[in-house]
């Protein structure tokens, strides 16, 4: 039997102020929270028993979104990690849930293009103790990096090396046997005061465990920063959005390309150029919505021009001459004053009002 452990804690400091009020794993990409894609990937791999690591700060939000997991056809157990003491500490915290079972550990703010189904199937076929997902990157000094032997086995992991032995970065998805628990018990906290999963995997190798690499061919996105969210939104819209007009579009409007208008939404005297998704019960009036924009539910946009942006639910934008490359939180207002601007690039947390 294989289980899954999703890490959905952490404080999301790189996405503040948005993550003062929203769990980073719940920030939407193409109107679906990142955590929703992770759950779908795990379900598609045939895994139904999932533990979700939550933090005291954002745990209730995660619970409200996932509930008991029935929407995805999975069983969910919530596991509280009282402090962000490292990825290996999260595994230790979940030991009673994981027991002796094999498990996949998936960081809840990561997105993989092809999911994990093939990797899980391959892990079950091979006599290995861990599989570590890797991706070629241009800037390996900013990541944990793996050194491989000729057979693709991992022989060493180095955290943010000055002289990287390869350009293969750890992407935040791992598959383990129960042997990882013994390895975690043997390591000590790092200089950051955390139990590092890289140290645990290195210990696993020292104990004679076989650690195989799983090199990703498709895209991988770590959605920890504003630009990461916008890039993820662009890629997902480009790959998955179809032309579906389920809301109301008046005769004065133009819908160009792959645009999804969800139920209850209305588009009046506006131009929408896809790929774009407009959420339920949103209203677009006298506006231009350009490519690679996600408009959440219950959003109002009037007399504005927006492109390459993510607008969360219940936002209100009026008279914004040009907004691009922006991430706008829930329950926000962006409204025009008398001063004219060139393109605005904003990142605004929830429950805010900005006059521009």
Which domain CATH number covers 344? 2.160.10.10
Which residues constitute the domain of residue 350? 241-355
Considering the domain architecture, whether residues 192 and 251 belong to the same structural domain is answered as: no
Q: Which residue has the higher pLDDT, 161 or 88?
A: 88
Count of CB atoms situated within 10 Å of the CB of 185? 12
Considering the domain architecture, whether residues 182 and 287 belong to the same structural domain is answered as: no
Q: Which of 221, 251, 285 is the last residue of a domain?
A: 221
Number of folded domains that form the chain:
2
Considering the domain architecture, whether residues 50 and 152 belong to the same structural domain is answered as: yes
Burial class (CB in 10 A: 0-12, 13-18, 19+), 26: buried
Tokens matching residue 170: 């750890």
Q: Are 8 and 52 in contact, with CB atoms under 8 Å apart? A: yes
Considering the domain architecture, whether residues 123 and 91 belong to the same structural domain is answered as: yes
Tokens matching residue 97: 């849930």
Whether 230 is in a domain gets the answer: no
Q: What is the pLDDT of residues 124-162, one digit of tens each?
A: 888 899 999 998 888 888 888 888 888 878 888 887 888
Interatomic CA distance for residues 125 and 214, integer angstroms: 14
Considering the domain architecture, whether residues 217 and 245 belong to the same structural domain is answered as: no
pLDDT recorded at residue 85: 83
Please determine, for residue 18, whether its predicted confidence score (pLDDT) is greater than 60: no
Please determine, for residue 345, whether its predicted confidence score (pLDDT) is greater than 80: no
Please determine, for residue 296, whether its predicted confidence score (pLDDT) is greater than 90: yes
Which domain CATH number covers 163? 3.90.550.10
Write the DSSP string, 300-313.
EEES-EEES-EE-T
Considering the domain architecture, whether residues 86 and 136 belong to the same structural domain is answered as: yes
Q: What is the pLDDT of residues 92-111, one digit of tens each?
A: 999 999 999 999 999 888 88
Please determine, for residue 188, whether its predicted confidence score (pLDDT) is greater than 60: yes
Considering the domain architecture, whether residues 215 and 295 belong to the same structural domain is answered as: no
Interatomic CA distance for residues 94 and 201, integer angstroms: 17
pLDDT recorded at residue 152: 79
Considering the domain architecture, whether residues 247 and 202 belong to the same structural domain is answered as: no
Considering the domain architecture, whether residues 327 and 200 belong to the same structural domain is answered as: no
Tokens matching residue 114: 């092809």
């Amino acid at each position: 039997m294989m289980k899954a452990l999703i890490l959905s804690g952490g404080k999301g400091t790189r996405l503040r102020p948005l993550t003062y009020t929203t769990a980073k794993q719940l920030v939407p990409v193409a109107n679906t929270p990142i955590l929703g894609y992770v759950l779908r990937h795990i379900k598609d791999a045939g895994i139904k028993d999932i533990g979700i690591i939550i933090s005291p700060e954002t745990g209730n939000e995660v619970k409200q979104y996932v509930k008991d997991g029935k929407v995805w056809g999975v069983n969910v157990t919530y596991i509280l990690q009282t402090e962000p003491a490292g990825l290996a500490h999260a595994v230790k915290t979940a030991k009673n849930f994981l027991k002796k079972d094999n498990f996949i550990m998936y960081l809840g703010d990561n997105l993989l293009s092809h999911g994990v189904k093939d990797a899980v199937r391959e892990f079950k076929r091979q006599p290995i103790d861990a599989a570590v997902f890797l991706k070629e990157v241009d800037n390996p000094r900013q990541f944990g990096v793996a050194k491989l032997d000729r057979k693709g086995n991992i022989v060493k992991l180095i955290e943010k090396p000055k002289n990287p032995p390869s350009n293969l970065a750890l992407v935040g998805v791992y598959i383990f046997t129960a042997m990882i628990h013994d390895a975690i018990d043997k390591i000590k906290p790092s200089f950051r005061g955390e139990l590092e999963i890289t140290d645990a995997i290195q210990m696993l190798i020292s104990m004679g465990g076989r650690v195989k690499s799983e090199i990703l061919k498709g895209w991988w996105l770590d959605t920890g920063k504003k630009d990461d969210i916008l890039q993820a939104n662009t890629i997902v819209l480009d790959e998955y959005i179809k032309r579906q007009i389920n809301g109301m579009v008046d005769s004065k409007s133009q819908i160009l390309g792959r645009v999804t208008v969800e139920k209850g939404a209305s588009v009046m005297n506006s131009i929408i150029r896809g790929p774009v998704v407009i959420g339920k019960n949103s209203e677009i009036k006298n506006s231009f919505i350009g490519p690679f924009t996600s408009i959440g539910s219950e959003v109002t946009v009037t007399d504005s021009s927006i492109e390459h942006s993510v607008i969360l639910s219940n936002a209100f934008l009026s008279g914004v001459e040009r907004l691009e490359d922006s991430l706008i939180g829930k329950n926000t207002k962006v409204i025009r004053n008398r001063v004219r601007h060139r393109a605005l690039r904003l990142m605004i947390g929830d429950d805010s009002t900005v006059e521009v």
